[in-house]
Amino acid sequence: KLSRRLMTVAQYVKNGSRMADIGSDHGYLPIYLARQGQINFAIAGEVAMGPLSNAEHEIKMANLTDKIMPRLADGLAAIKADDDVDTITIAGMGGSLIARILEAGKERLSHFPELILQPNVDEIDVRKWLMAHQYQIIHEDILKEDHHIYEIIDAVRADRAVHYSAKELLFGPILMHHQNAAFNEKWHDKIDRLKHAIKQMQGAKVPPVARIDALQAEINLIQEVLSDERN
């Protein structure tokens, strides 16, 4: 059974997609989708030999070797032109790594596949990359599972420039307008951590005033966004 996190990624993969799952590890996501009959073709890309072997094993066990191709490659290098990939999923890694993988593999995105991304942290880096490359965010989700809060971002190439404000990049253009319990928890936790950091700095012999002000400004920004929704 798939985690709720990967299930949320899976629900954005359209029926009949030709997908590449980059950093697939066990290949659970493409295996689930192929079993559901949701896809007939997937690449399970992995940069590391151990996870690639896991994927190969799981794909064989699931009798899906005709539909899912495990490939050892760094990032989007797993994708070949004649694969006709129209959907790329990248889940379970940091947002800055996801952005670096997209940037390094840009030439493999010339047909502008849909991008379904699940950064564990630094979501802002993913949104900045999407905006810079004219990708529009069409769905976002945030959920809590096993004591972690995860965000899922689904984006398609737009036909004109895309602009997100600083707030939208940080909080998510869709998430900030549909604040759920996980969103509230994530940002209240962030406020608590910032307050704690400020307290510690104030206890220093020479408190770093500028740094404290910056953290306080961040708290104010978060509080503004959290209270926006209530109004």
Which residues in this chain contact ligand SAM in the complex, by CB under 6 A?
6, 22-25, 45-48, 51, 74-75, 91-93, 101
| Gap between the Cα atoms of 167 and 221, Å rounded | 8
Structural contact between residues 115 and 135, judged by C-beta atoms closer than 8 angstroms: yes
Least distance to ligand SAM, CB of residue 11, Å: 15
In this structure, how many other beta carbons lie within 10 angstroms of the beta carbon of residue 169? 17
Least distance to ligand SAM, CB of residue 93, Å: 5
Least distance to ligand SAM, CB of residue 170, Å: 23
Tell me whether residue 76 or residue 198 sits nearer to ligand SAM (CB atom). Answer: 76
Q: Are strands 87-93 and 39-46 parallel, antiparallel or unpaired?
A: unpaired
Least distance to ligand SAM, CB of residue 224, Å: 32
The DSSP secondary-structure symbol of 24 reads -
| Gap between the Cα atoms of 168 and 77, Å rounded | 30
Tell me whether residue 78 or residue 225 sits nearer to ligand SAM (CB atom). Answer: 78
Query: Residue 98's closest CA among 86, 87, 89, 107?
Result: 89
Tell me whether residue 74 or residue 86 sits nearer to ligand SAM (CB atom). Answer: 74
Query: Hey, is 115 helix, strand or coil?
Result: strand
Q: Which residues pair with 137 in a beta bridge?
A: 155
Tell me whether residue 5 or residue 186 sits nearer to ligand SAM (CB atom). Answer: 5
Least distance to ligand SAM, CB of residue 44, Å: 9
Tell me whether residue 140 or residue 168 sits nearer to ligand SAM (CB atom). Answer: 140
